[in-house]
Structure 1
């Protein structure tokens, strides 16, 4: 598709980097067979993408982008140090995510690196999000015709959807009374933010996108498209069934679904009285921003090495560059065009990095077509959007959303500090409101309607990396 909201960071430097693998590191081999098959997350049969004959592998990124040619073996060198985390595997092109093919690989830290809480009795993956009964090919055809993919048909949890009172619902997972469990929850949808909650149970947030957080308890949590977090849940209620509830946020037409958490040796169906959702509209945005601010970096827990996360003083680093990005939606020649700062990215026939490697980049694309500040006017240029960055520069990126819908942004290859989200428009004076002490290091950030978000990152990973919208019709 040729209507992308995307920017490519080309981080240039003059040195040679090497990846070292320690002798004796264990090697694990996985074979993932990708095929088409019939799936029905909302009860409507459709063609889906299967991995080892399953559309959702809820048991096996780091939101790191791994370019991979088809039908080839893929070797990943994963860090054996650092906090427990998950590698979320999902398609990122051509709307394939709309047809499944999603999974999670759990990565546990070595014993040398302790986690800042007692080891849970078990852990479960929860892959939730909006779902369309049309497959990825049909959705692509809709976009190619110049229309939006429209609103989703429902919400799924681990590839299934249920209503309150449905009989014979397969439980998502089973708890034993008195034990604590870790749930790794990811929003793998295409469009909608989702709030999740569990009947009668609180959730303690312990990790957001690979970073340990200050441990606070929540009755419900907002999770935006492309985001992941880990929570601890203690089975401290009467042994019976309880509903896990997922509902849409900031949507004109609310959607919801439930799954069942079953206590071992429990007796009794889940109550039909569900925990209430958070507020919507303006109050809901204020509520969600307040929750975002409550997520704080755990400064004393481990990072990728035995030293604590807080040993990296990002708030004391001088900003060397500010990039302000404004997302737009427009129409050109009967097509939807999503862009940033007047440029709508389109992939060139020659892969960009390949053109750069062979010294023919000037024949394929133009560097810095997009400026660091949004330009006046509504004109949108359709072209490869490649912005040069300087190795090890400390960059401030401002996302400003003038539209009526929430946006989510993801940066491949890096983590950044989400230092602020506020309503209105950004100005340099807003820096006084930044969290320069314990903002969470992460790789996605949400931007509410008519609001802005600020992130900071060091360009310390040489290469060419995507900064893109997680709203799939835009990417």
Structure 2
């Protein structure tokens, strides 16, 4: 009996210690529970399988504040592995929670796993999504907002409301079918439509839009100013966003307040987020169209690929009608869009070993079986190579786990050259980089003379126009292993990515947090998963076990690995 009591007291002490370590942190904590499941939805009028979070598509908005600790417990009820990544979120001193295969082992079906990270000194508008197996094409995404602390002023008055808008191209085929298409060496073809907040277009045209499709309605009060945060969460299509008869006053993009200037429309490329201040200063004779239409494509053929929502004044007297507001009339001249991008202060797919692949600098990335950061921790040899080329390869392309070696507290210049005929956007996890230049043709050393070295915008995702280049500068102040990728899902799936490995030679917890206790193991370290010592807390009981399994927790009992 005494031994049993001592054991229970020991367990209670461990539980209290772990509880206090979460609750007595220096900065506040926001917590969420995500349950990923398949549901049937009909965003374009055809029933299909989509990925929902807590039964909703899109998923919930994560609302946090600068320096908050963010805890997200993910329960994977899909039939395949999953990871959630946090696009644009600069996790403080830790890439362990980044949610991509270079840093995390995947969460298997029927497993729980808890992300626990602190956001850096940042504010702004972002989104999260599943990073594996083309899953974002079926959903699983949602907004992620970081508000400033109350003592920090913003460069504009507090808006009357905060509205999140997720736009993106959409296929009726689910992500597994789309993967098969790419694996067979074929392109995905034209998407079936554009969704706004997971819903199809308002029936503005009886020929282009079938009856019975549910559309998004944004309710507003006349005379008030709202902050509208718009993210392109789609597969690969750049979209032009506009609201009929309303000016878009640009206020922020991915954590940077911008020079405030009005646009009648703005191109938002895959993976990018902008927030606008929009004043409801029109009369209420009718509702107004909110439009997201495809860019840099044959617009007459892609006319049906248009997302349409409704902006509804509370005193509106009628439905929106008539033609949609026009997109930019520059089908044969992309200079307008590039100049617009400047005002906000790759090679084509190849065949390697008989398979269609995409490359960066001639290297098509192969995801390691043992994540890079985990391989470093346990000194696993041969998991990757620090040989990513500083110049594009002149020889044949190759498939490798080739990584960029960064110097802590150094600077890195990255030239993104797009020799394809389609638009690309590129993203770097863990960082905001400075977009210092872009231009058409091939980048040369002389191009540095055109760089904006004074007020270039800092962001985490930038567009690279067809037949053009974009230059970014990065201050390497965030230790870890960080993903550099195209946000176009098809090219990302085919290998257009790499990682930047940034190590502080001085081992301490000030620049990088230690490996989390609940780290998953896979690849060369999978044996550690079986015998690792872990706690599992269930809602009904506590178990001390020596195998990381779901013993003791019913399927709906809320078991959580800590």
TM-score (norm 2): 0.72
Q: Which residue of the partner structure matches residue 167 of structure 2?
A: 128
Is residue 2:318 matched to residue 1:268? yes
Deviation sequence 1:89-120 (CA, Å, 0-9, x none): 11122100011111113222111111100000
Alpha-carbon offset, residue 265 of structure 1:
2.3
Q: Which residue of the partner structure matches residue 75 of structure 1?
A: 116
Range 390-399 or range 22-31, more displaced: 22-31
- Equivalent residue in structure 1 for 2:275, among 230, 233, 239: 230
Distance 1:389 1:229 in 2: 29
> Do 2:358 and 2:491's aligned partners in 1 also have CA atoms closer than 8 Å?
yes
- Equivalent residue in structure 2 for 1:287, among 336, 360, 381: 336
Q: Which residue of the partner structure matches residue 349 of structure 1?
A: 369
Q: Which residue of the partner structure matches residue 57 of structure 2?
A: 55
> Do 2:241 and 2:293's aligned partners in 1 also have CA atoms closer than 8 Å?
yes
Q: Which residue of the partner structure matches residue 469 of structure 1?
A: 486
Alpha-carbon offset, residue 40 of structure 1:
2.0
Distance 2:237 2:59 in 1: 21
Structure 1 280/113 Cα, relative in aligned 2: closer, same or farther at 3 Å?
Answer: same
> Do 1:205 and 1:230's aligned partners in 2 also have CA atoms closer than 8 Å?
yes
Deviation sequence 1:4-30 (CA, Å, 0-9, x none): xxxxxxxxxxxxxxx999856333222
Alpha-carbon offset, residue 279 of structure 1:
2.5
> Do 1:58 and 1:127's aligned partners in 2 also have CA atoms closer than 8 Å?
no
Aligned residues: 422
The two structures, once aligned, show a CA RMSD in angstroms of: 2.1
Which blocks of at least 5 consecutive residues in structure 2 are unaligned? 1-20, 63-86, 91-96, 493-562
Structure 1 22/236 Cα, relative in aligned 2: closer, same or farther at 3 Å?
Answer: farther
Query: Aligned runs of 1:380-391 on 2, under 5 Å?
Result: 380-391=397-408
Alpha-carbon offset, residue 58 of structure 1:
6.1
> Do 1:128 and 1:186's aligned partners in 2 also have CA atoms closer than 8 Å?
yes
Distance 1:352 1:24 in 2: 30
Q: Give 3-state SS (helix, strand or coil) of 1:420's partner.
A: strand
Structure 1 262/402 Cα, relative in aligned 2: closer, same or farther at 3 Å?
Answer: same
Distance 1:219 1:242 in 2: 14
Deviation sequence 1:187-216 (CA, Å, 0-9, x none): 001111000101110110000111000000
Distance 1:236 1:77 in 2: 39
Q: Which residue of the partner structure matches residue 30 of structure 1?
A: 32
Alpha-carbon offset, residue 459 of structure 1:
1.1
> Do 2:199 and 2:215's aligned partners in 1 also have CA atoms closer than 8 Å?
no
- Equivalent residue in structure 1 for 2:266, among 221, 224, 233: 221
Structure 1 22/435 Cα, relative in aligned 2: closer, same or farther at 3 Å?
Answer: farther
- Equivalent residue in structure 2 for 1:278, among 328, 337, 341: 328
Distance 2:447 2:89 in 1: 29
Structure 1 389/24 Cα, relative in aligned 2: closer, same or farther at 3 Å?
Answer: closer
Q: Give 3-state SS (helix, strand or coil) of 1:29's partner.
A: strand
Alpha-carbon offset, residue 327 of structure 1:
3.4
> Do 1:279 and 1:287's aligned partners in 2 also have CA atoms closer than 8 Å?
no
Alpha-carbon offset, residue 165 of structure 1:
5.4
Which blocks of at least 5 consecutive residues in structure 1 are unaligned? 1-18, 297-325
Is residue 2:289 matched to residue 1:243? yes
Q: Which residue of the partner structure matches residue 211 of structure 1?
A: 256
> Do 1:328 and 1:340's aligned partners in 2 also have CA atoms closer than 8 Å?
no
Structure 1 20/380 Cα, relative in aligned 2: closer, same or farther at 3 Å?
Answer: farther
Alpha-carbon offset, residue 360 of structure 1:
2.4
- Equivalent residue in structure 2 for 1:367, among 366, 374, 386: 386
TM-score (norm 1): 0.84
**Greater CA radius of gyration, 1 or 2?**
2
Q: Give 3-state SS (helix, strand or coil) of 2:336's partner.
A: helix
Range 394-403 or range 49-58, more displaced: 49-58
Q: Give 3-state SS (helix, strand or coil) of 1:429's partner.
A: helix
Deviation sequence 1:409-428 (CA, Å, 0-9, x none): 11111111001111111111
Distance 1:416 1:21 in 2: 33
Q: Which residue of the partner structure matches residue 94 of structure 1?
A: 133
Is residue 2:119 matched to residue 1:119? no
Distance 1:180 1:259 in 2: 19
Q: Give 3-state SS (helix, strand or coil) of 1:439's partner.
A: coil
- Equivalent residue in structure 1 for 2:225, among 164, 174, 180: 180
Q: Which residue of the partner structure matches residue 313 of structure 1?
A: none
Range 53-62 or range 191-200, more displaced: 53-62
Structure 1 422/331 Cα, relative in aligned 2: closer, same or farther at 3 Å?
Answer: same
Structure 1 170/453 Cα, relative in aligned 2: closer, same or farther at 3 Å?
Answer: closer
> Do 1:147 and 1:335's aligned partners in 2 also have CA atoms closer than 8 Å?
no
Distance 1:206 1:104 in 2: 17
Alpha-carbon offset, residue 289 of structure 1:
0.5
Q: Give 3-state SS (helix, strand or coil) of 2:376's partner.
A: helix
Distance 2:326 2:218 in 1: 22
> Do 2:421 and 2:466's aligned partners in 1 also have CA atoms closer than 8 Å?
yes
Structure 1 215/289 Cα, relative in aligned 2: closer, same or farther at 3 Å?
Answer: same
Range 66-75 or range 187-196, more displaced: 66-75
Structure number with higher relative contact order (C-alpha < 8 Å, ≥ 6 residues apart)? 1
Alpha-carbon offset, residue 82 of structure 1:
4.5
Query: Aligned runs of 1:322-361 on 2, under 5 Å?
Result: 326-361=346-381
